[in-house]
Amino acid sequence: MGELQSRVQTLHRLLHQYNYEYHVQDNPSVPDSEYDQLLHELIEIEQNHPEFKTADSPTVRIGGQAQSSFEKKRHDTPMLSLSNAFSEEDLRRFDQRIRDAVGQVEYMCELKIDGLAVSLKYVDGKFVQGLTRGDGTIGEDITENLKTIQAIPLTLKESISFEVRGEAYMPRQSFLKLNEQKEKNEEQPFANPRNAAAGSLRQLDSKLAASRKLDIFIYSINDFTELDATSQSEALDKLDQLGFKTNQERSKAESINDVIDYIEYWTEKRESLVYDIDGIVIKVNQIELQEEMGFTQKSPRWAIAYKFPAEEVVSQL
Q: pLDDT tens for residues 19-50? A: 888 777 767 888 888 888 898 899 889 888 98
* Contact status, residue 189 vs residue 179, Cβ threshold 8 Å: yes
Q: Spell out the residues 6+ positions from residue 119 whose beta carbon is closer than 8 angstroms to its own.
A: 75, 76, 79, 130, 131, 133, 139, 163, 164, 165, 222
**Segment 85-142, tens digit of pLDDT:** 999 999 999 999 999 999 999 999 999 999 999 999 999 999 999 999 988 889 999 9
Residues 99 and 51 in one domain: no
300 in any annotated domain: yes
What gap in Å lies between CA 50 and CA 66, rounded to an integer? 18
Residue 64 to residue 154: CA distance in whole angstroms: 15
**Measured distance CA(6)–CA(9) in Å, rounded:** 5
Range with lowest mean pLDDT among 56-70, 77-91, 92-106: 56-70
pLDDT at residue 151 greater than cutoff 80: yes
Does residue 134 lie in a domain region?
no
Same domain, 89 and 50: no
Q: Which of 53, 72, 73, 112 is catalytic?
A: 112
pLDDT of amino acid 316: 43
Question: Whole-prediction pTM value?
Answer: 0.84
Q: Do 307 and 252 belong to one domain? A: yes
Together in a domain, 52 and 90: no
Q: What is residue 84's predicted lDDT score, i.e. its pLDDT?
A: 93
pLDDT of the residue at 296: 86
Give the chain's end-to-end CA distance (angstroms, integer): 65
Distance set, CA 121 to CA 143, 234, 296 (Å): 10, 20, 25
Burial classification of residue 106, based on how many CB atoms lie within 10 Å of its CB (0-12 exposed, 13-18 middle, 19 or more buried): middle
Of 143-147, 178-182, 208-212, least confident by mean pLDDT is 208-212
CATH number for position 2 = 1.10.287.610
CATH number of the domain that 109 lies in? 3.30.1490.70
Residues 6 or more apart from 130 whose CB is under 8 A from it? 118, 119, 120, 121, 141, 142, 143, 145, 146, 147, 152
Q: 6 and 137 in contact (C-beta within 8 Å)?
A: no
Query: Is 182 designated active site?
Result: no
Q: Can you give the C-alpha Rg of the chain in angstroms?
A: 21
Full residue range of the structural domain in which residue 264 is found: 84-114+247-313
pLDDT at 315 over 80: no
Number of domains in the chain: 2
Same domain, 252 and 307: yes
Phi and psi at residue 26, to the nearest 5°: 55, 40
Are 111 and 266 in contact by the 8 Å Cβ rule? The answer is yes
> How far is 151 from 273, CA to CA, in rounded Å?
18
Contact predicate 257/200, CB 8 Å: no
